[in-house]
Amino acid sequence: MKWTAVTLCFLLRDGAVGTQVLLGTKKTGFGVGKIVGLGGHVEPGESQAEAACREVYEEAGIVVREHDLRIAGQIQFVFPARPEWNMSTSLFTARRWTGEPAESDEIIPEWFHISSLPLERMWQDAGHWLPLALAEGTVEAVITLNEDNETVASAEYSET
């Protein structure tokens, strides 16, 4: 099975009312209109960590250094109806960075409380793994989508 290497990086900050995560509304491309994590494809010759840092900068104008990333897990997304979409996604969180989130051509960034994630506006699979990834553990999962390429047929995951 062929997999496209992808990264997602979730910036976390502690506020007066609890921990918040930076997500963004997708303006173009895959998942337009949905709220997503910052990230994207790993370029040739690039590590997953390098890709995560690059994508956060490209999408929100924030500089994250590789040594400030925490590995939060690995998700395999399986699209039986569109196997060319299959993704192996490395998850990272970061609590240190430089800069303030700024809108880009691709993303409108916004902070959300991790206790009230906007799951109804995200890909349906996010409810299966995102709370685990943000809880400072690591999650390993295989998410298989239905024929509509949006709803979840099955989610097998473990948390460490």
CA distance linking residue 97 with residue 80, whole number of Å: 37
Residue in 73, 82, 85, 11 with CA at minimum distance from that of residue 41:
85
User: What are the tens digits of pLDDT across the range 48-75?
Assistant: 999 999 999 999 999 999 999 999 999 9
How far is C-alpha 96 from the geometric centre of its chain's CA atoms?
17
Residue 159 has pLDDT above 70, yes or no: no
CA distance linking residue 55 with residue 50, whole number of Å: 9
CA distance linking residue 123 with residue 125, whole number of Å: 5
User: What are the tens digits of pLDDT across the range 75-117?
Assistant: 999 999 999 999 999 999 999 999 999 999 999 999 999 999 9
> Is residue 50 within a helix (H) or strand (E), and if so which, with residue range?
helix 48-60
What domains does the chain contain, in order, with CATH numbers?
4-159 (3.90.79.10)
Predicted TM-score (pTM) of the model is: 0.93
CA distance linking residue 94 with residue 89, whole number of Å: 16
By DSSP bridging, strand 87-94 and strand 69-78 are antiparallel
CA distance linking residue 94 with residue 4, whole number of Å: 23
